[in-house]
Every structure is written in C-alpha cells, then in structure tokens.
C-alpha cells in the first residue's frame, strides 16, 4: 500500500487541536469585549468627574475637608479639598504679598461592589482670591 489515509485517532487529535486553538481565540475576543466595557465605565466616570470638578465651588469658596455622595445608582464620589501647597514649613515658599489661595481638589470616583470595585482618581487645582474666600 503506497498511500495510507489518516486513522480516526489522528483525525480526532487534529480536531481537538483545532478546538483548543479556537477556544483560545474566543477567550481573546471575550476579554476584548470585557476591556471595552471597562473602558466605557472609565469614560463615564471621567464624564461624571469632569462635571463634578467643574461645578464644585462655583458658587462658594472652597473649604478644606472631605465630602462624599453618589452620582447615580452606580457611581459614587469622594472629594477631598486641601489648601495647596499646604501649610507645612518645608513646602515651597509662598509669596507673602499675594491674596490668592490655591486649593487642591482630589476627586475619587468609585463604582462596582466588593472585589469588583473600581475607582478612578482625578485632581485639580482651584485658585481663589483671599477676598472672595472671606466673604460668606
């Protein structure tokens, strides 16, 4: 016999190999979809954060401290306001004659529950003239 076909065992092995490769491919596709969903969540968090940081203290002067709340059923926020560059003597010297005060706004956006919890951190600086800060 010059020509010999494949045995059933060989064919099954080949099919199995193909199935494995295909499964791996599907895994990659699934994780790509997953990553897309995560990226979308992050984008949404960034949109929430942008509105929050933009509108925070538009009406009144910032007060150092922490506040928190939730945007909607999914996204929560925590805002920390500190005066910047801080009051410690080691910090860069602040010009004495200025009536401008800088505040650092740190916004943490959290979403998801338990081990699935994710967060994104945004920070911004806000300059306030001391005159404005003193008016109630």
Partner 1 sequence: MKRAVRGFSLLEILAALALLALLLVGVYTGVRAAIRSVNVGSAAIGRLDQIRSAQQLLRREVMQSMAVPLAHNDQGDNLYFVGEPNQLRFVAPLPGYLGKLGPQLQQVSLESGANGTLQLVARFALLPPDGSAPQPLGEPEILLDGIRSGAISYRGLDEHGRPADWQSEWPDGRQLPLLVRIELQLDGRDAWPVLEVPLKVDPSANRGAMNLLRGLRIPTVTQ
Within 18-47, which residues bind partner 1 (CB under 8 A)? 18-19, 22, 25-26, 29-30, 32-33, 36-37, 40, 43-44, 47
Under the binding rule (CB under 8 A), the answer on residue 7 touching partner 1 is no
Q: Where are the beta strands (DSSP E) in 3-74?
A: 65-70
Is the bond preceding residue 85 a cis peptide, omega within 30 degrees? yes
Within 77-136, which residues bind partner 1 (CB under 8 A)? none
- Report how far apart, in Å, the C-alpha atoms of 30 and of each of 16, 27, 34, 44 are: 21, 5, 6, 21
**Interacting residues with partner 1 (CB under 8 A):** 1, 8, 11-12, 15, 18-19, 22, 25-26, 29-30, 32-33, 36-37, 40, 43-44, 47-48, 50-52, 54-55, 58-60, 71-72, 74-75
């Amino acid at each position: 016999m010059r020509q010999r076909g494949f045995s059933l065992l060989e064919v099954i092995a080949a099919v199995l190999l193909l199935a494995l490769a295909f499964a791996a491919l599907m895994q990659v596709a699934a994780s790509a979809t997953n990553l897309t969903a995560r990226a979308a969540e992050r984008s949404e968090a960034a949109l929430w954060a942008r509105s929050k940081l933009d509108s925070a203290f538009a009406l009144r002067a910032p007060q150092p401290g922490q506040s928190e709340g939730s945007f909607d059923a999914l996204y929560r926020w925590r805002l920390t306001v500190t005066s910047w560059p801080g009051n410690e003597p080691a910090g860069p010297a602040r010009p004495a004659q200025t009536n401008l005060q800088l505040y650092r706004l740190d916004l943490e956006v959290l979403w998801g529950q338990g081990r699935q919890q994710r967060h994104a951190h945004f920070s911004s600086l806000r300059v306030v003239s001391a005159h404005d800060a003193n008016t109630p």
